[in-house]
C-alpha cells in the first residue's frame, strides 16, 4: 500500500499570545509543532503499513522550515517526506491550499489511501481534507473513529463519529479519510526513527515543479479574504461566589438557581 | 429561484433543529438583500407536513430532493446534487450547519463550484454598499474573531455553528411553496456505501445538539463520580461532556470530549465541574450562551470566563444542586397533581 499523509505545521497553541493592540497572534518566539490532530493520521497510516506493508509519504505546504514537521512525522514511521514551499503559495485559503496539495499529490503518482487529520488547530476549518477529495475525485469519509476492515487493492470499511452515532461506511481504494482522536493513540518517535528522519533527504516542490494554474495560487487565488481580525473579550464579568463551608454551599446553590431561573435555564414545572 | 439558500438536515426522515436555526440566519440576510430565502433538503422520508414547518420558520421556498438513495449522507452524491443545483439556479449565499455533514459537504462543493467558504461562523451580516456576505468566525482556538468575505466568487458559502443562534418562532400563517425536485439518477455516485449505524455503541452522546451540557474535568477524581454529572444532566435536560484529561484517564468515552481535539459546542447552558479551563478546552465552549464554573481553585481559568462561578468543594456543590433540583421537580409534580 502507498499511503499519503498531508500534515500542517502549526504554532504551539498552548503558548498563543495575542497582541492586544493589533489583535493578531504574536508569532515571535512561539514554537511550532505538527498539528496535534495530524498525529492521529500519522499513527493510522503507520498501523496500516505495519498490518499490510507498503510505504508512507507525508507532505506539507509551508515555509522552508516546515521540513521540521515532516521529520517529526518520519520519526514516527513515515518513510518519505515532501516539502511544498514557494512564496507564490503564501496566504492560501482552504480552497487554494487543497488545490496546491492535490497537484503535489498527483505528482507523487499512484497511491491507495490519503489519511488526513480532522482539521488544523490554528485555522480550524477542516476544509482541506474534503477539498483534496473533491480535486482528486476520491471517495471520502470524514471523522473516521475506527477502521474495521482493510482489503488491500480493494477497499476499506470505516466508522464515522457523527452526531447520531457511528456511521459505518464502505469505500473503495484509492480513497481519502480524515480521522479523529479515537482512531488510534499516537506513538512516540523512536531514537532510531529520529536519527533516520534527521538524515533524510526531503525533496522540495516549488511552484515551478508542479503543474499549476497560476490564478489558483496563494492569496490572489483564494476566494475568501480576511476583512478584519478582532480579539473577543475574554471575561464575561461574571459573579464568583465562595462556598467554603456547608452553609455557604447551600447559599451559593441558592444564588446559582436564582441566576439560572432568571435566564430561563431551569426545567419548567417546579418552583423552589 | 431564491438568492439565499440554507441547507436543511434530516436524520431518518426527521428534520434536525439546526435546519430552523439556519433559516433564522438566512431570513435576516435575505431581508437585508431584499431577496427570497429557500431551504434545500437533500434526504429521504421527510413528510410534507415537516417541509411546511420550514416555511413557518422563514423559508419562502422549500426545495426537497428526496430519494431512498439519499437517505444516508454520502458526500459524493450529495455534492453532485448540490453542485448541479448551484449551476442551474446560481444562488448568491448558501448556509449549511457546521455539523459532520455540513463540514464535509460544503468544502467538497466549494472546490467544485470555485466558491469561497468560511467554516463554523458565529456571526453573519451583509456589508453595506457591496452586499457581500460578512462571515465572522472564531480562529486560533477562539483567541481571535476573523471576519471574512468572498468578493469575487459566487456563491458565498458558510457553515454556521449549531446552537449559535435561535430559530425564529414558527408562524403557521406564513406563505411559501414546497417544491419536490426528482433526483436525476446520473448524479448518484455509488462508490461509497453507507451501511447504517453501529448498533453496539455504548457511551455515545449527541453533545452538539444538547441545550445543556454538564462537563467534568480532572477535579472529578474518578470515573464513578461522573454519575453525579449524569444525574444533574438528567435533571437539567442535558448531556454530559468532559475535558481531554478526563477522557484520557478513561473516566468517560471520547464522544463526550469537548475542546480542540474533541467537539465544539455552543449550548444554552454549560456547567464545568472541576475543570481548570485549559485554553484547548475553552476553545470548545467559548460561544456557550451561559457558562457556570464549579471549582475549589479560585484562580481556575474557567472561573474567569464564567457568568457564574462557585469556589468550593465540587462534590458538596453538585450534591446540593442535585438535591435542590429534585426538590423542585417533586414540587412541580405536586403542583400539577
Tell me if A161 sits within 8 A of A146, measured CB to CB. Answer: no
B122 CB within 8 Å of a chain A CB: no
Segments of chain B with pLDDT less than 50: 1
pLDDT exceeds 70 at position A18: no
Give the separation between CA B170 and CA B143, rounded to whole angstroms: 35
Q: Which pairs with CB-CB distance under 8 Å and at least 24 residues apart come from A259-268? A: A259/B307, A259/B308, A260/B269, A260/B290, A260/B292, A263/B269, A263/B290, A265/B212, A265/B236, A265/B268, A265/B269, A265/B290, A266/B236, A266/B325, A266/B328, A267/B235, A267/B236, A267/B237, A267/B328, A267/B329, A268/B332
ipTM comes to 0.94
Where is average pLDDT lowest: A101-115, A235-249, B242-256?
A235-249
CB contact residues (below 8 A), chain B span 42-71, against chain A: none
Chain B residues with CB under 8 Å of A248 CB are 312
Peptide bond into B155 cis (omega under 30): yes
Chain A residues with CB under 8 Å of B213 CB are none
Q: How many CB pairs under 8 A join A and B?
A: 302
Cβ distance B118 to A23 less than 8 Å, yes or no, reads no
Smallest Cβ–Cβ distance between B100 and the set A142, A236, A269 belongs to A142
Tell me if A253 sits within 8 A of B315, measured CB to CB. Answer: no
The tens digit of pLDDT for each residue in B287-331 reads 899 999 999 999 999 999 999 999 999 999 999 999 999 999 888
Average pLDDT, chain A: 93
Q: Provide the phi-psi class of A208: left if phi over 0, else alpha when psi is between -120 and 50, else beta.
A: alpha
Cβ distance A181 to B262 less than 8 Å, yes or no, reads yes
pLDDT at residue B182, as a whole number: 97
Q: Where are the domains of chain A?
A: 2-216, 235-272
pLDDT at residue B202, as a whole number: 78
Chain A residues with CB under 8 Å of B308 CB are 238-239, 241, 255-256, 259
Chain A residues with CB under 8 Å of B255 CB are 161
Chain B residues with CB under 8 Å of A269 CB are 328-329, 332-333, 335-336
Cβ distance A171 to B192 less than 8 Å, yes or no, reads yes
Pick the more confident residue, A17 or B237: B237
pLDDT exceeds 50 at position A42: yes
Cell of B328: 423542585
The tens digit of pLDDT for each residue in A138-177 reads 999 999 999 999 999 999 999 999 999 999 999 999 999 9
- In CATH, B212-336 is 3.30.67.10: no
pLDDT at residue A47, as a whole number: 98
CATH class of segment(s) A2-216: alpha beta
Report the residue of chain B nearest A220, measured CA to CA: B152
Smallest Cβ–Cβ distance between B311 and the set A130, A234, A240 belongs to A240
Peptide bond into A174 cis (omega under 30): yes
Count each helix (H run) and each strand (E run) in chain A, helices first: 6, 13
Which of B168, B135, B169, B136 minimizes the C-alpha distance to B151? B135
3-class secondary structure, B12: coil
CATH class of segment(s) B4-187: alpha beta
B97 CB within 8 Å of a chain A CB: no
Q: Where are the domains of chain B?
A: 4-187, 212-336
Cβ distance B74 to A169 less than 8 Å, yes or no, reads yes
Chain B residues with CB under 8 Å of A128 CB are 107
Cβ distance A223 to B153 less than 8 Å, yes or no, reads yes
Beta strands A175-179 and A113-117, pairing class: parallel
The tens digit of pLDDT for each residue in B148-201 reads 999 999 999 999 999 999 999 999 999 999 999 999 999 999 999 999 999 877
Give the pLDDT band (50/70/90) at residue A271: very low
Smallest Cβ–Cβ distance between B261 and the set A37, A226, A229 belongs to A37
Chain A residues with CB under 8 Å of B265 CB are none
pLDDT exceeds 80 at position A14: no
Smallest Cβ–Cβ distance between A235 and the set B117, B197, B305 belongs to B305
B232 CB within 8 Å of a chain A CB: no
Amino acid at each position: 500500500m502507498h499511503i499519503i499523509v498531508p500534515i500542517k505545521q502549526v504554532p504551539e497553541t498552548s503558548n498563543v499570545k495575542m497582541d492586544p493592540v493589533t489583535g493578531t497572534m504574536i508569532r515571535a518566539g512561539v514554537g511550532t509543532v505538527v498539528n496535534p490532530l495530524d498525529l492521529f493520521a500519522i499513527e493510522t497510516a503507520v498501523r496500516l503499513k505495519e498490518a499490510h506493508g507498503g510505504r508512507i509519504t507525508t507532505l506539507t505546504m509551508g515555509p522552508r522550515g516546515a521540513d521540521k514537521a515532516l521529520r517529526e512525522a518520519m520519526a514516527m514511521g513515515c518513510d518519505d517526506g515532501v516539502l511544498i514551499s514557494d512564496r507564490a503559495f503564501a496566504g492560501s485559503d482552504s480552497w487554494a491550499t487543497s488545490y496546491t496539495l492535490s497537484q503535489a499529490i498527483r505528482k507523487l503518482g499512484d497511491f491507495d489511501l490519503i489519511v488526513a487529520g480532522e482539521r488544523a488547530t490554528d485555522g480550524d476549518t477542516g476544509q482541506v481534507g474534503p477539498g483534496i477529495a473533491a480535486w482528486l475525485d476520491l471517495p471520502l469519509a470524514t471523522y473516521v473513529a475506527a477502521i474495521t476492515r482493510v482489503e488491500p487493492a480493494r477497499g476499506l470499511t470505516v466508522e464515522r463519529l457523527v452526531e447520531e452515532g457511528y456511521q459505518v461506511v464502505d469505500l473503495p481504494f484509492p480513497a481519502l479519510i480524515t480521522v479523529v482522536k479515537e482512531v488510534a493513540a499516537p506513538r512516540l518517535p523512536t531514537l532510531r526513527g529520529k536519527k533516520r528522519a534527521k538524515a533524510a533527504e526531503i525533496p522540495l516542490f516549488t511552484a515551478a515543479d508542479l503543474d499549476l494554474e497560476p490564478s489558483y495560487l496563494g492569496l490572489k487565488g483564494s476566494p475568501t479574504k480576511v476583512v478584519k481580525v478582532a480579539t473577543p473579550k475574554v471575561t464575561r464579568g461574571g459573579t464568583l461566589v465562595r462556598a467554603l463551608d456547608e452553609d455557604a454551599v447551600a447559599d451559593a446553590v441558592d444564588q446559582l438557581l436564582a441566576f439560572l431561573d432568571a435566564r430561563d435555564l431551569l426545567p419548567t414545572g417546579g418552583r423552589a | 429561484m431564491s438568492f439565499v439558500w440554507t441547507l436543511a438536515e434530516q436524520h431518518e426522515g426527521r428534520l434536525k433543529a439546526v435546519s430552523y436555526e439556519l433559516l433564522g440566519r438566512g431570513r435576516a440576510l435575505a431581508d437585508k438583500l431584499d431577496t427570497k430565502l429557500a431551504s434545500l433538503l437533500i434526504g429521504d422520508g421527510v413528510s410534507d407536513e415537516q417541509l411546511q414547518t420550514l416555511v413557518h420558520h422563514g423559508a419562502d421556498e422549500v426545495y426537497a430532493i428526496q430519494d431512498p438513495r439519499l437517505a444516508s449522507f454520502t458526500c459524493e452524491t450529495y455534492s453532485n446534487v448540490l453542485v448541479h443545483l448551484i449551476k442551474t439556479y446560481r444562488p448568491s449565499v448558501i448556509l449549511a450547519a457546521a455539523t459532520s455533514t455540513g463540514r464535509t459537504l460544503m468544502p467538497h462543493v466549494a472546490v467544485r463550484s470555485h466558491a469561497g467558504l468560511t467554516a463554523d461562523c458565529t456571526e453573519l451580516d451583509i456589508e453595506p454598499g457591496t452586499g457581500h456576505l460578512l462571515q465572522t468566525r472564531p480562529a486560533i482556538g477562539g483567541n481571535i474573531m476573523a471576519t471574512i468575505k468572498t468578493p469575487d466568487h459566487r456563491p458565498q458559502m458558510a457553515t454556521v455553528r449549531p446552537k449559535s443562534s435561535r430559530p425564529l418562532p414558527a408562524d403557521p400563517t406564513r406563505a411559501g411553496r414546497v417544491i419536490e425536485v426528482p433526483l436525476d439518477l446520473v448524479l448518484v455516485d455509488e462508490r461509497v456505501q453507507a451501511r447504517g449505524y453501529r448498533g453496539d455503541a455504548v457511551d455515545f452522546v449527541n453533545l452538539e445538539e444538547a441545550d445543556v451540557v454538564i462537563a467534568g474535568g480532572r477535579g472529578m477524581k474518578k470515573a464513578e463520580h461522573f454519575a453525579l454529572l449524569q444525574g444533574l444532566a438528567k435533571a437539567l435536560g442535558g448531556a454530559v461532556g468532559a475535558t481531554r484529561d478526563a477522557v484520557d484517564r478513561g473516566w468517560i468515552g471520547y464522544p463526550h470530549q469537548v475542546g480542540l481535539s474533541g467537539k465544539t459546542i455552543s449550548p444554552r447552558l454549560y456547567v464545568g465541574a472541576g475543570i481548570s479551563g485549559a485554553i484547548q478546552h475553552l476553545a470548545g465552549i467559548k460561544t456557550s450562551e451561559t457558562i457556570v464554573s464549579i471549582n475549589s481553585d479560585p484562580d481556575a481559568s474557567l472561573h474567569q470566563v464564567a457568568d457564574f462561578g462557585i469556589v468550593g468543594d465540587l462534590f458538596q456543590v453538585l450534591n446540593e444542586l442535585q438535591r435542590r433540583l429534585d426538590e423542585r421537580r417533586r414540587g412541580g409534580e405536586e403542583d400539577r397533581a
